Every structure is written in C-alpha cells, then in structure tokens.
Chain A
C-alpha cells in the first residue's frame, strides 16, 4: 500500500476499507450478548498483539508483554479507584506507567539479546507479577485475589458504556487510532530503523544508529499500547487478578502473533481474529472448552512446522490467484509488502 501501483489498486483498497468499516460497525448487532462480550475482548486483544509486533520488529521476543498489559490494568484501576481520577485519564495514566516501566526495564534487559533477553524479560515480568501477589503488598494490590469493583467507564452524552455494544464502539475508536499511530511509526524512518536493527544490527551501529536507544524506543512504544489495552480490559471486566497476566496468557499473545505472522502489519491481526473465531465457533459449539489449551498448542506446533511465516504468508498466494484471473492488474497485487 505504501507503493501504489495504479489507480485501480488505490480504489480497491479504499473500497475495502469502507467495506471493513461498515462490517465492524454493523457486526455487534448481528451477535448474541455473549458474543458481543467476546467481540470487545477481541478488539482489545488486537491492540495487544499489534503492540507486541512493534517490539518484534527489532528482533526481540519479550515474555513480559502480558505483565506489561497488567501494569496498565493495575495502574489504571488503582488510580481510578483509590484516587478517584476520571476513568479516561486513569487509562492514560495506566498506559504511561506501562511505558515508563518498560523504559526502566530496558536498561538491564537490552544489555542482552536473543535467548537471554527472552529469559530475562520473563524473570522481570514474574518479579512484577509476584509483587502483586505478595502478602506484604496486599493493602495496595489486593494479593492473589486482585482488585475488584473497578470503576467502569463513565456515561457520556447518556451513552451507557456498561453495555458491551457501546464499549465495543469505544474500544474500536481507541484501537483504530492506536493502530494508525503504530502504522505511522512503522512506516516512518524510526520504523525502518527498527527493521534495520533486526536484520543487521552491527551494520546499523556502524552507520551511527544507537541500537540501544531504538530498542528502548520500540519497547516503550509497545508497552504504552499494551498498557492501554490492559486499561481498556480492566474497566470493562471490573476485576483483575495477578493470574490474569501470567505466562499462560503470554503464551496466547505469542500464539496469535506466530500463527498470524509478524512480517506484515496485518499478520498479528489475522492471527488473533482467526483464532478467536475458530475458538468461539468450533470449540464452544462442540462444548469442549477445556480442550482449548490443547487446541492452541497443536495449532502452534502445526504453524511452526508447516507455516513458519504465519497465516499472512497465505495472503499473497490468494491475491496471486485472483491476480491471474484479473488480467489488468498484471499480478501487481502480489508484490510483497515488505522487502526483507
């Protein structure tokens, strides 16, 4: 999309976006109440997994992202509940706190790379999560039971955000704006530098790129939006506990990103949407909810063995199929999204 080949492609893209927007607006009214609730969580998870991808652009796979989301949730919940700050401001505070914590964590963590970064990020996340659980801090974080009765989003122009449909629209707006920002960052010079650090960090350093600073920048950005996702979650569900942000939850973020693919902006979105739909339709209709981890585990293994580039790698293939039929486009639609 950053290199339009012809007018027809631009038109097609614009038409696609209008269609998508229409579907997203109408969708909740076609669903049952419980499906609407799932839809809200799905939109929040889209933001979560897209924010995670920004970090993976620099080549690092953190295992602290679920905890970072929790930092946003806990901060926002506490600020709103104990300090009586209005919820929208509390959400910003939560996101900022998550970003600030990532900034602090980057000093020890970005001394490491690859496997060591993975393990250290896991340890740092666990330390934060265990402090929520720790009995000496129960007065603040509520211990293993967490925080209950978190204030919900206030009514605005007599719109009741307690209703899943209304909260869905709110999340849709917040997430769309966040995704636009994430997209702009990725396509900017900063985003290109992230790519450069991933593929050639020594070369990037040799031409004067401060790789440490850019890794930190990606980490802070990604944490800010993960924190925002956490805040959206906390004020919707109304109760949070340390186990909600455990390594098991982190595994789901990994699975969405890996099954979807992380080479393109839309890859993680495909991952989280497809897996959530399959999970809701297939597993729930079969009544085998307790098989969910096995289902996700098997999908993860199948993806890593047979589709290592994720579901997104199917998109150019599908486009090429259509391209052959449509002579005018000359298969130009099949041009790769990102040169790697």
Chain B
C-alpha cells in the first residue's frame, strides 16, 4: 500500500465515520429513551436522501435548502412514528421493533412508487475539492458531511449536558419510572428523542445523496452498520457510538480497499458477534431489554 493510497483511505474512512456516527447516535438516542430498536432507521436515512432527490435533483431547489428540508421532513416522520407506533406499544419493546419493521416496508414501497426501483443520480452541488500531498483528494461534498457530523454531534452533546431538556432525556434513558415520578413528561422526552434521532439520520441521508446514488433499499446496509456500532459501543452510550463509528469505519474502509466489500461486511459482523459472545448482554448493557 503506497503512502498516497493509505492517506486517501484515511480520508475516505473519516468521511464514512462521519455519516455512520450521525446515524448511529440517532439510533442509540432512540433506543436509550424509548427502549425500542428502530429497525426503520435505515429507511429514515433513505427518506432524507430522497428528499434531496425530489427537491434538489428534480425541482432544482438549492442544495442546502433541500438538506434542511430533509432534516425537517425526516424529523417529522420520527414524530409520526412515536405517535402512531411506539407510544401505543410503550410497554412492549419487541412490539415496537416489529412495528418499525412494518413501517420500514411502507417507507420502502413509497420510495419505489414515487421514484422507481432504479438508482437515482444526484448531481454534485459543487465540483470543488481539497487536494493535499499531490493526489489525496477530499471533495467538498464529502467535507460537508464531516463538518455537519462534527457540528451537529457537538451541539447535541452540549444540549444533552447543559439544557433542561437534555437532563430530562438522559434521566429517562437511565430510569424511566423514576423520571416519571419526578414529574417529567415521558411523552415530551420521547417526542424530542424521536425527532432528534430521526433528523440526524435524515440529514445524513440528505448530505450523502449526491455521493451514493439513492435506491429504495439503501437503508439495509446502513442499519446493519448501526447495529454493529451500537452493540460494540454499548447500548445507550452516545460517546461509545461515536468512538466505535470511527473504529468501524476505518476497519471497514481499509478491508474494502485492500480486499473487498463483502469481506469487510463479514469482518464487521464477526466483530459484533465476538463482542456479544464475550459479553452476552453487550459491552455496557447491564440490564435485559426486549
């Protein structure tokens, strides 16, 4: 492996880590507060990408306006899921998971009916790129994802530490009954967690749309990665999710570059199985859920 290829792979892995972290952190937030494994999380990412297809590629709206619309639209989808699915099934964690599978199928079909099963090509919003070391390239399109991940996740971190809502969210994630007894509105915290979690997935999909050619089935590999990240990083740990996103993205990108993508997926899954075998309740998961 030449130095140039090595650094190019590092740049690619940094980009991959950024969008995986956006998705995984939302996934963990929803699991932590609601106690539901949101199988449809990959389809929320897909919905964000198709918002950009519809507004930016088809209608010619400005790129960043479309990304903002994707964030808002997918956030609202999250609110809808909370209201229609997860709230009635609050005492039934496995039920919530199964309902999210049903919702996933509905979102996929809507994408197929609205946009067809074929890949959609989204033109890049800019041709600008950074070049360093005479050949290692970072396009602006990818840089946006990295910047957005750092900015949004930092904002979320500060929000969770400093604001009253943030305290409420973390309290609900730690012990729901106690939080309710302290007078916190479980509906409000659940809504907030769903909105933020879904919006993060949506913004990841919207920003990566020009880079990945959206299809209705693009959510599947994404949700598998999210599973691997949250199991290895520990359920309910946002910091763990970010750290493992970086670790997993590097392992996956390097194995893909050196060997092939299928082997990279197998390695990731074996990594997760290994963690589960050593710690049958997940790395930091003390209590049994679902």
Contacts and interface: CB of A to CB of B under 8 A. Distances in A.
Interface of A: 61, 108, 111-116, 118-120, 122-124, 126-127, 130-131, 133-136, 247, 251, 254-255, 258, 290-294, 296-301, 304-305, 308
Main secondary structure of the interface of A (DSSP, over half): helix
Contact of A127 (B98, B104, B270): B270
Given A135-B260, A290-B112, A251 B106 contact: no
B234 to A, nearest CB: 12
A116 B280 contact: yes
Given A296-B105, A298-B102, A127 B273 contact: yes
| Most A CB within 10 A of own CB, among B92, B101, B113, B265 | B101
A251 B105 contact: yes
Contact of B276 (A108, A247, A258, A297): A108
Contacts of B272: 119-120, 123
A301 B277 contact: no
B290 A118 contact: yes
B105 A293 contact: yes
A190 B289 CA distance: 27
B281 A116 contact: yes
Contacts of B113: 290-291
A305 B89 contact: yes
B95 A114 contact: no
B282 interface: yes
Contacts of A258: 98
Nearest to A251: B101
Given A114-B288, A297-B104, 16 more contacts: A111-B280, A112-B276, A115-B37, A115-B288, A116-B280, A120-B272, A122-B227, A123-B272, A124-B273, A134-B260, A291-B109, A293-B105, A294-B110, A300-B98, A300-B101, A305-B88
Contacts of A61: 94
Interface in B106-137: 106, 108-110, 112-113
A297 B105 contact: yes
A263 B289 CA distance: 22
Given A291-B109, A298-B102, A301-B85, A120 B94 contact: no
Interface residues on B, range: 35 or more
Contacts of A116: 231, 276, 280-282, 285
B99 A301 contact: yes
A295 to B, nearest CB: 8
9 contacts: A108-B276, A111-B280, A115-B93, A123-B227, A123-B276, A135-B260, A291-B113, A299-B102, A300-B105
Given A115-B37, A119-B231, A304 B289 contact: no
Contacts of A301: 85, 99, 102-103, 106
B98 A297 contact: no
Contacts of B288: 113-115
A130 B264 CA distance: 10
Contact of A293 (B37, B97, B108): B108
Interface of B: 37, 85, 88-89, 92-95, 97-99, 101-106, 108-110, 112-113, 220, 224, 227-228, 231, 260, 262-263, 265-266, 269-270, 272-273, 276-277, 280-282, 285, 288-290
| Most B CB within 10 A of own CB, among A108, A113, A114, A116 | A116
Contacts, number: 122
B87 to A, nearest CB: 11
A111 B98 contact: no
A130 B273 CA distance: 15
A63 to B, nearest CB: 10
Given A116-B281, A296-B105, A304 B266 contact: no
A112 B285 CA distance: 12
A247 B95 contact: no
Contact of A112 (B37, B266, B281): B281
B102 A119 contact: no
B273 A304 contact: no
A112 B274 CA distance: 12
B199 to A, nearest CB: 22
A294 to B, nearest CB: 4
Contact of A304 (B99, B110, B220, B260): B99
Nearest to A120: B276
Contacts of A292: 109
A134 B266 contact: yes
Closest 6 pairs between A and B when the two form their complex, measured CB to CB: A297-B105, A294-B109, A300-B102, A115-B290, A301-B102, A297-B102
B109 A290 contact: yes
Contacts of A115: 37, 93-94, 97, 288-290
A106 to B, nearest CB: 12
Given A113-B288, A123-B269, A291-B113, A297 B262 contact: no
A135 B92 CA distance: 41
A134 B262 contact: yes
B179 to A, nearest CB: 21
B54 to A, nearest CB: 19
B269 to A, nearest CB: 4
B99 A126 contact: no
B262 to A, nearest CB: 5
Contacts of B112: 290
B134 to A, nearest CB: 33
A26 to B, nearest CB: 35
A305 B105 CA distance: 16
Nearest to A126: B269
